[in-house]
Amino acid sequence: MASRSSFIVDHAHKAHDGAFGYGYPEIPARVDSIMASLERTGYEVEEFHSEPRDAIVSLHAHDMLNYIDRFCSSMDDSAAYPPVLPGTVRDGTGHPRSQTFCFDLSTPLARRTPEAAMAAAGLALEGAARVQAGTKFVYALCRPPGHHAGTDFFGGFCFFNNAALAADVLSKQGSVAILDLDYHHGNGTQQIFYERRDVLYVSTHADPTMAYPQISGFTNETGAGEGEGYNFNFPLPLNTDDRTYLEALPRAMESVWDFDPDFLVISLGLDGAMGDPVGTWSLSKESFEKSGEKVAEMGVPTLVIQEGGYNLRRLGDDVVAFLDAAQAS
Ligand SMILES: [Zn+2]
For ligand 1, the distance from its centroid to the CA atom of residue 168, given in whole angstroms, is 21
Do the Cβ atoms of 205 and 147 come closer than 8 Å? no
Do the Cβ atoms of 204 and 248 come closer than 8 Å? yes
Mean pLDDT over each residue of the chain, to the nearest integer:
93
The answer to whether residue 95 is catalytic is: no
Closest listed residue to residue 307, CA positions, set 127, 137, 185, 177: 185
Residue 46: per-residue pLDDT: 98
Tens-digit pLDDT string for the chain (329 aa): 467 999 999 999 999 998 888 789 999 999 999 999 999 999 999 999 999 999 999 999 999 999 999 999 988 878 888 877 655 555 455 544 445 788 888 899 999 999 999 999 999 999 999 999 999 999 999 999 999 999 999 999 999 999 999 999 999 999 999 999 999 999 999 999 999 999 999 999 999 999 999 999 999 999 999 999 999 999 999 999 999 999 999 999 999 999 999 999 999 999 999 999 999 999 999 999 999 999 999 999 999 999 999 999 999 999 999 999 999 76
Residue 19: per-residue pLDDT: 81
As a dihedral over the C-alpha atoms of residue 217, residue 219, residue 223, residue 228, rounded to 10 degrees, the angle is 170
For ligand 1, the distance from its centroid to the CA atom of residue 155, given in whole angstroms, is 11
Question: Using CA atoms, how far apart are residues 102 and 306, in angstroms rounded to an integer?
Answer: 21
**Helix axes 62-73 and 113-132, enclosed angle (nearest 10):** 140
Do the Cβ atoms of 109 and 79 come closer than 8 Å? yes
Question: Using CA atoms, how far apart are residues 134 and 262, in angstroms rounded to an integer?
Answer: 12
Q: From the candidates 13, 60, 147, 148, which is the catalytic residue?
A: 148
Do the Cβ atoms of 211 and 239 come closer than 8 Å? no
Q: What are the Cα distances from residue 194, in Å, to 60, 149, 214, 221?
A: 15, 14, 17, 9
Residue 89: per-residue pLDDT: 53
Question: Using CA atoms, how far apart are residues 94 and 313, in angstroms rounded to an integer?
Answer: 52
Residue 86: per-residue pLDDT: 53
Residue 20: per-residue pLDDT: 86
At 269-305, the pLDDT tens digits run 999 999 999 999 999 999 999 999 999 999 999 999 9
Sheet holding 45-47, edge to edge: 45-47, 5-9, 137-141, 302-306, 263-268, 176-180, 199-206, 231-236
Residue 98: per-residue pLDDT: 47
At 86-107, the pLDDT tens digits run 555 554 555 444 457 888 888 9
Question: Using CA atoms, how far apart are residues 307 and 56, in angstroms rounded to an integer?
Answer: 18
Question: Using CA atoms, how far apart are residues 281 and 125, in angstroms rounded to an integer?
Answer: 31
Residue 96: per-residue pLDDT: 47
For ligand 1, the distance from its centroid to the CA atom of residue 307, given in whole angstroms, is 7
Question: Using CA atoms, how far apart are residues 176 and 170, in angstroms rounded to an integer?
Answer: 7
In the DSSP assignment, the letter for residue 232 is: E
For ligand 1, the distance from its centroid to the CA atom of residue 112, given in whole angstroms, is 23
User: Which amino acid is present at 296?
Assistant: A
At 239-263, the pLDDT tens digits run 999 999 999 999 999 999 999 999 9
As a dihedral over the C-alpha atoms of residue 13, residue 120, residue 280, residue 213, rounded to 10 degrees, the angle is 120
Residue 101: per-residue pLDDT: 87
Do the Cβ atoms of 295 and 268 come closer than 8 Å? no
Q: What are the Cα distances from residue 235, in Å, to 57, 177, 186, 203, 254?
A: 31, 18, 12, 8, 15
Beta bridge pairs of residue 179: 202, 266
For ligand 1, the distance from its centroid to the CA atom of residue 305, given in whole angstroms, is 13
